[in-house]
Amino acid sequence: MPRIMAAAAALAGSASRILRKIIKGSARLWPAVTAAPGCWSCSQGAKRYLLRDNAIGLQQFQEKKLATRRLIYEDKDSYFRNIKEKMEKKELILRNELKILLHLCQTSDDVEIAKSAIYRYHSENRTMAFGDYKFGPIFMRLCYELGLEVPAVELIKDETLYGFFSDGQSFALLMDMLFKKGYYEDAFEVLEEMEKQHVKYIKDTFLLAFAICYKLNSPVSWKKFTKILEENQFQLDTLPRITYCFAVAFALKQNDLEKAQYIYSLIMNPDSRLCTNLKILMQIKSGALEETLKTLEAVLEENTPELVKKTQISEQVLATVREELEENPALLVRLEDIYDQLKASGKVTKLTLDEMLCKIPLYKEYYKKLSTERTVSLRTFKPLQSVLKTE
C-alpha cells in the first residue's frame, strides 16, 4: 500500500521523481528502528555472562564447600565462634583455618566475619604472600555465589590488602560479576585498580576490558582501550573471537574504521552471525556500497542445512545500510529486493548488534532455567541447600 500511494502521488512528476518517491515510499515497509544510531542500543542495554563456567569455577567451589562441611568435626557456628575468639585474643589465623572459614560462609553475615579474618591474616603474612596460596579467587567466588559485589570491591581496592589479590583471576571474577549486573563504571574502576596494583593481564582480562569499554563508550574508556591495544600487541593474536568482536564494535562506535578493520583482520575464523554483521557495517561505513550488497547476497545464497543455525542480519544493520544508500536509487532498489528475500528465508533478526554481542549463551540460559525451577532435591525430595543450587 505505501508503494502504491507514493507512486500515485508522483504520477504528475518526471520519471526520475517517480522512481525516487517509490523508493522513499518503500521505506515504510521496513521495521521501525528505535535504538540509538549506529546499530547499538543504550549502554545499559543487554547484559552478558562474559566468562565461561570453567573460568568462574563456581561449581567446583560449591563442591569444595560441601566437602569442607563434611570434613570438619564441629558445626559451622562453633567454628565461626572459635575464629572470632582467636581474633579477639589477637591469636594467629592459620592458612588452613582461613581456607575452611571461606568455604563455610553461606550468608552476608558470615562474609563480614571472613573479611575480618582476611585483614588479620594478611597483616600477619604480608611478607610471606609471594608464591603462597591464593585466597583472592576463593573470596571472589564466594562473593560471586552470594551476589556480594560491594564487599568484593571494597576489599580489592583497600591499600592495606595490596598483595592479597595479586592474581588476574580475582580481578576477572569481580569484573565479570559487575558487568553481568550492569555496573560498568565500577567494573572500569576495578580494571584501573588492577593496573594500579601491577597485576598482569590474563586472556579473560582482555575480553572483560574490551566489553566494559564498549559499554561505557566514553572518551576515557576509548583512551583506555587504545592504550591496551598499544601495550599488548603481541598478545592480541590468540584471543577468543568474542573478544575481537567487542573491540571491533567499540572501534565502530567511535568511528575509527581503520582500527576496526585492523582488529577484524585478527579474527582467525570470522564465520559467524556476529562477524558477518560487523563486516557489513565496516563495508558500508567505508563507502564500499557494491561490496556490501554482495555480502548480503552471499548470505542470501547460503544453503544452510535445516539443523544448522542460519546466518542472520540485524534489522538495524540493514537500516544503517539503507541510510547510506539513500542517494543511490538503483542500489536502494536492489537492497529492497535483497531485504525481502532475506526476510522470507528467515535470515533477518530483530536482535540489535548490542544484543548479539551481549546475548547470554544457550548453555547459560539452560542452567539458569534449571536453577530457577529446581528447588527440591531429586534424591531426598527436601529443599536444596544454597551451596548445591546451580549457578
Q: What is the pLDDT of residues 87-115, one digit of tens each?
A: 999 999 999 999 999 999 999 999 999 99
- Which of 136, 143, 122, 129 is CA-nearest to residue 167? 136
Q: What is the pLDDT of residue 32?
A: 44
How far is residue 387's CA from residue 156's CA, in Å, rounded to a whole number? 24
Give how far the C-alpha of residue 191 lies from the chain's centroid of Cα atoms, to the nearest Å. Answer: 15
pLDDT of 344 over the 90 cut: yes
C-alpha cell at 26: 518503500
The torsion of the CA quartet 46, 153, 137, 98, rounded to 10 degrees, works out to -140
Instruction: From residue 342, give the alpha-carbon distance in Å to each of 161, 241, 278, 300, 304.
Output: 57, 26, 17, 6, 13
Beta bridge partners of 314: 349
- Which residues, at least 6 apart from 380, have a Cβ–Cβ distance to it below 8 Å? none
Radius of gyration of the chain from its Cα atoms, rounded to whole angstroms: 27
C-alpha cell at 358: 551481549
How far is residue 22's CA from residue 3's CA, in Å, rounded to a whole number? 6
C-alpha cell at 248: 571491533
C-beta of residue 184 within 8 angstroms of C-beta of residue 215: yes
Question: Mean per-residue pLDDT for 76-81?
Answer: 93
Percent of the chain whose predicted confidence (pLDDT) is above 90: 65
Instruction: From residue 252, give the alpha-carbon distance in Å to each of 13, 40, 164, 316, 336.
Output: 40, 10, 38, 14, 25
Instruction: From residue 255, give the alpha-carbon distance in Å to each of 139, 225, 263.
Output: 40, 14, 14
How far is residue 250's CA from residue 53's CA, in Å, rounded to a whole number? 25
- What is the average pLDDT value for the chain, to the nearest integer? 83
Q: What is the pLDDT of residue 128?
A: 65
Q: What is the pLDDT of residue 97?
A: 94
Question: Mean per-residue pLDDT for 259-269?
Answer: 94
Q: What is the pLDDT of residue 225?
A: 97
Angle at 289 between CA 337 and CA 31, to 5 degrees: 45
Percent of the chain whose predicted confidence (pLDDT) is above 70: 77
Maximum separation of any 2 CA atoms in the chain, in Å: 97
pLDDT of 348 over the 50 cut: yes
Amino acid at 369: K
How far is residue 186's CA from residue 322's CA, in Å, rounded to a whole number? 37
pLDDT tier at 66 (50, 70, 90 boundaries)? very high
- Which of 96, 182, 253 is CA-nearest to residue 245? 253
* pLDDT (tens digit per residue) in 329-341: 999 999 999 999 9
* pLDDT (tens digit per residue) in 205-249: 999 999 999 999 999 999 999 999 999 888 888 899 999 999 999
How far is residue 3's CA from residue 29's CA, in Å, rounded to a whole number? 9
Q: What is the pLDDT of residue 202?
A: 93
Question: Mean per-residue pLDDT for 15-33?
Answer: 41
Task: Give the containing element (helix H, strand E) for 314.
Answer: strand 313-314
Q: What is the pLDDT of residue 158?
A: 96
3-state SS assignment for residue 388: helix
Question: Mean per-residue pLDDT for 303-315?
Answer: 82
How far is residue 92's CA from residue 86's CA, in Å, rounded to a whole number? 7
Q: What is the pLDDT of residue 133?
A: 74
DSSP-derived letter for residue 275 is H
* pLDDT (tens digit per residue) in 123-150: 988 766 545 678 999 999 999 999 999 9
How far is residue 175's CA from residue 323's CA, in Å, rounded to a whole number? 37
Q: What is the pLDDT of residue 72?
A: 84
Instruction: Please state whether 269 falls in left (phi above 0), alpha (psi between -120 and 50) or beta.
Output: beta
Q: Strand 348-349 to strand 313-314: parallel, antiparallel, or no bridges (unpaired)?
A: parallel
